[in-house]
Amino acid sequence: MNGLMMQDQLTLSSILRRAERLSAKKEIVSRLPDRSLHRYTYGDMARRAKQLAVALRRLGVQPGDRVATLAWNHHRHLEAYFGIPCMGAVLHTLNLRLPAEDLVYIVNHADDRVLLVDQVLLPLVERIHANSNIEHIIVISDDGTVPDGMHDYERLLASVDIADYQDSVIDEQQAAAMCYTSGTTGRPKGVLYSHRAIVLHSMAEAMVDVSGLSEADVVLAAVPMFHVNAWGLPFTATMVGATQVLPGPFLDAPSLLELFAQERVTFTAGVPTIWLGLLQELDRAPGSWDLSSLRAMFVGGQSAPISMIRGFQERHNLRVVHAWGMTETSPLGTVSTVLDELRDLPHDEQYAYRATQGRPVPFVEIRARGDDGIDAIPKTGTGKFQKSVLRDAYRDALLDAE
């Protein structure tokens, strides 16, 4: 017998509609290539995402077609995050840090039909376009300067009528986004995310024991939007209606610290390299920035050293949360938030736990086995088990440090 409620499909269209209706006046801030700040609202973003969808249809894009982006973190890229999948096409974020030959392979393997590219990245496009099957290139430009044969993003949006937008009929199992992982053997491998997967990931990521994101938060994703969908943060922040701050290509410590302080950022995420640079800058000039609003800094992509986690906490009262995931896990897999049963442990042991991968997020199941073939994670996490794990982790961390 089937249930008779909750029949709606889990799609990105539902997230966009929610943002448009309930968060229309909440702000999205972007740092532009000239370092100025662009400000508009979720209402503006939703309207322009729909215009992008209409414009892509006029270019001949059909449901299931792949539309690639080669762009930094900014409001127009966010529009593509929703405009492309909400018309039934597949958002394909390209990693601009890969060699041109890898990008050529990825673009052709994915059979991308359209490419949205930042104007500052046109030299990279010139190296891949001639060897690809891309039919249309749309340039995200601030001055309207576009090479012959390419489309200007703003003129393209201005040429369509928002009244022509219609919600596509999308099955939740339909592909919404695509990322190619280079963390593999041989050529980069493509991973397809369904609408359902992204919506469920957004719901899990927003939970209190994961990121705890809410409408009151100000979120700055320092992880690039071309890296596993910025760990899903653009989707999750849009779902809850949090203010978003998008740093553009400026990921150096002074630029990030300026945004953290000026925009009163409450939550951020990035790789250890970025946070190590940030820690060095804070140590060099302590007290130069008011970061009292910042409640959590997620770190992932590679293991974060205990010394970094301690440095932020003890010298600057900033909480670093270790997370782990893969392109294939949408990507969040585990988060190392300190469990209630561990809060009475000595600080050294708590830091050792915080430097581990932590526990699986909701809806992620993990089976880990040791060299002896025995499951390394028991079905129940008693305090006794956790404390023994902490002691071993701390011992190993000290040995590594030596």
The answer, yes or no, to whether the previous bond of 305 is cis (omega within 30 of 0) is no
The answer to whether 54 touches 164, Cβ cutoff 8 Å, is: yes
Residue 211 CA neighbour count, 13 Å, CB half = 34
What pLDDT was estimated at residue 119? 96
The reported pTM is: 0.92
Q: Give the pLDDT confidence of 353-400 residue by residue, as tens digits.
A: 899 888 999 999 888 787 888 776 654 444 443 444 544 554 454 444
Q: Give the pLDDT confidence of 97-129 residue by residue, as tens digits.
A: 999 999 999 999 999 999 999 999 999 999 998
What pLDDT was estimated at residue 397? 46
What pLDDT was estimated at residue 391? 47
What pLDDT was estimated at residue 343? 86
Q: How far apart are the first and last CA of the chain?
A: 61
What pLDDT was estimated at residue 113? 96
What pLDDT was estimated at residue 385? 39
What pLDDT was estimated at residue 200? 97
What pLDDT was estimated at residue 369? 80
DSSP, residue by residue, 289-352? S--TT--EEEE-SSPPPHHHHHIIIIIH---EEEEEE-GGGSSEEEE-PPPGGGTTS-HHHHHH
Domains along the sequence of the chain with CATH: 12-25+40-193 (3.40.50.12780), 252-401 (3.40.50.12780)
The strand pairing partners of 391, in sequence order, are none
Among 86, 52, 323, 338, residue whose Cα is nearest residue 199? 86
Handedness of CA 222, 225, 227, 232 (dihedral sign): positive
Opening angle at CA 138, ends 97 and 124, nearest 5: 30
Residue ranges of the chain with per-residue pLDDT less than 50? 379-388, 390-391, 394-395, 397-402
Determine phi and psi for 176, rounding to 5 degrees: -110, -35
What pLDDT was estimated at residue 130? 87
